[in-house]
């Protein structure tokens, strides 16, 4: 079983368009959108027959106003600045700031704080024209995105085992923190999409370092390579020095947005990019096979 996660560190580098193209080219793959904060892959995959479930994770502290005497212990103990004092002098907990740590619940002298389970979003399995599609959505201000990502990956692997899929292709989240660390775990290969801009180069270095930290093999795609050819050459040289395989380049092209507007993937849209992306997929799949064998 091979699991490919597409990452970039930076938003807007082209992760989702590339993941969708790979999904179209890979036969018999499970497709997974791990960007649970702002999922976009469904826009290109038009999922059907969606079976969604609530995502319940952790708990939320809630003050029972009738029992609260405004003693202030909870406000003192809370390290997340989640407790304020309401107009009636009683404690109020901001659900966006509460991390569900239970400290206030345990220490409230009047036992006035309830701790109900928290619904943070939903996760779903759908059918798409490229195979099963696993996706989710975290509620705005939601917590535990890392846990939701882990749940999606587990679901994708179960599906793959059950239905005999050899490959899972995942669209990762931007950044380098909790959801990204979750997305990396257990993958065979991280495909790092980088654009040759100051932000792109900087963020790529950080996400590459994160992959190295977790000893995950990487392959690099330079997107919008012709925006800054010198920087592209410099990036590719740096990768070669570090022994990081360069999978290839894609040019800056309005076709990416045009395909998106037509709600199709690049291979389906055609044009010059279709050939580029097909070559990138060949290289990526071959590298993932090598990495999966080496595991």
Partner 1 sequence: MRIAIASGKGGTGKTTVSAALASVWTEAVSRPVLAADLDVEEPNLHLFLRPVITEAHVANLEIPVIDAAACTRCGACREICQFGAVTILGDTPLVFDDMCHGCGACLAVCPVAAMSPGAREVGRVEEGAAGSIAFVNGRLRVGEAMSPVLIRAVTARVNGKLAALPESERPDVLLDAPPGVSCPAQNAVATADVIVLVVEPTPFGIHDFALAVEAFAPLGKPLTVVVNKAGEASPELDALCRRENLPVLAAIPDDRAIAEGYARGRLLPEMSPACRALCLDLARQLAALRPEARHA
Q: Which residues bind partner 1 (CB under 8 A)?
A: 9-13, 16, 37-38, 40, 43, 58-59, 77, 79-81, 96-97, 99-103, 106-107, 138, 140-143, 145-146, 174-178, 181, 195-199, 202-203, 206, 209-210, 213-214, 224, 227-228, 231, 252, 257, 260-261, 263
Whole-number minimum distance, CB 40 to partner 1, in Å?
4
Closer CB to partner 1, 38 or 237, in the complex? 38
> Is 48 in a helix, a strand, or coil?
strand
Contact by Cβ (8 Å): 110, 69? yes
The residue written with tokens 């059907």 in the block is 48
Closer by beta carbon to partner 1, 194 or else 288:
194
Query: In the complex, what is the shortest distance from the CB of residue 223 to partner 1, in angstroms, rounded to a whole number?
Result: 11
Q: Which is nearer to partner 1, 100 or 219 (CB)?
A: 100
In whole angstroms, give the CA distance from residue 183 to residue 126. Answer: 20
Helix residue spans in the chain (DSSP H): 15-25, 41-45, 73-77, 103-107, 145-163, 178-184, 198-213, 229-241, 255-261, 266-269, 272-294
Tell me how far, at minimum, the Cβ of 248 lies from partner 1, in Å. 19
Q: How far is the CB of 145 from partner 1 (least distance, A)?
A: 6
- Cβ at position 162, least distance to partner 1 in Å: 28
CB of 36 to partner 1, least distance (A): 9
Would you mind telling me the total number of residues written for the chain in this entry?
295
Closer to partner 1 by Cβ: residue 177 or 233: 177
Residue whose CB is less far from partner 1, 21 or 288: 21
Residue 169 φ/ψ, nearest 5 degrees: -115, 125
* Contact between residue 118 and residue 100 where contact means Cβ atoms under 8 Å apart: yes
Q: Using the CB atoms, write b or e for 109-140: b if 16+ within 10 Å.
A: eeebbeeeebebbbbbbbebebbbbbbbbbee
Q: What end-to-end distance do the CA atoms of the chain give, in Å?
A: 11
Closer to partner 1 by Cβ: residue 213 or 240: 213
Which CB sits closer to partner 1, 261 or 293?
261
Tell which residue, 167, 212, 195, has the closest CA to residue 252.
Answer: 195
Minimum distance between the CB of residue 108 and partner 1, rounded to whole angstroms?
12
**In this structure, what token pair is assigned to residue 212?**
């190295």
């Amino acid at each position: 079983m091979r699991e490919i996660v597409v990452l970039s560190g930076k938003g807007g580098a082209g992760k989702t368009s590339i993941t969708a193209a790979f999904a179209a080219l890979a036969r018999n793959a499970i497709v997974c959108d791990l960007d649970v904060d702002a999922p976009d892959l469904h826009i290109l995959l038009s999922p059907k027959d969606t079976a969604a479930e609530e995502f319940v994770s952790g708990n939320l502290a809630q003050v029972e106003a009738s029992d609260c005497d405004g003693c202030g212990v909870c406000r003192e103990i809370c390290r997340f600045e989640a407790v304020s004092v309401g107009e009636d002098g009683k404690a109020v907990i901001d659900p966006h700031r509460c991390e569900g740590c239970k400290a206030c619940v345990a220490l409230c002298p009047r036992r006035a704080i309830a701790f109900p389970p928290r619904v943070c979003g939903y996760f779903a399995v759908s059918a798409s024209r490229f195979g099963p599609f696993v996706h989710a959505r975290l509620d705005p201000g939601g917590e535990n995105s890392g846990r939701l990502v882990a749940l999606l990956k587990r679901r994708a692997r179960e599906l793959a085992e059950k239905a005999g899929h050899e490959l899972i292709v995942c669209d990762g989240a931007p950044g380098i923190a909790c959801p990204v660390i979750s997305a990396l775990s257990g993958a065979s290969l991280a495909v790092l999409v980088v654009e040759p801009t100051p932000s792109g180069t900087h963020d790529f270095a950080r996400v590459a370092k994160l992959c190295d930290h977790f000893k995950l093999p990487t392959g690099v795609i330079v997107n919008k390579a012709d925006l800054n050819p010198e920087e592209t050459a410099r990036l590719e040289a740096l990768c070669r020095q570090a022994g990081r395989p360069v999978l290839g380049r894609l040019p800056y092209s309005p076709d990416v947005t045009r395909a998106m507007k037509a709600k199709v993937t690049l291979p389906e849209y055609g044009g010059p990019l279709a050939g580029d992306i097909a070559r990138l997929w060949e290289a990526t799949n071959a590298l993932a096979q090598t990495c999966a064998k080496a595991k």
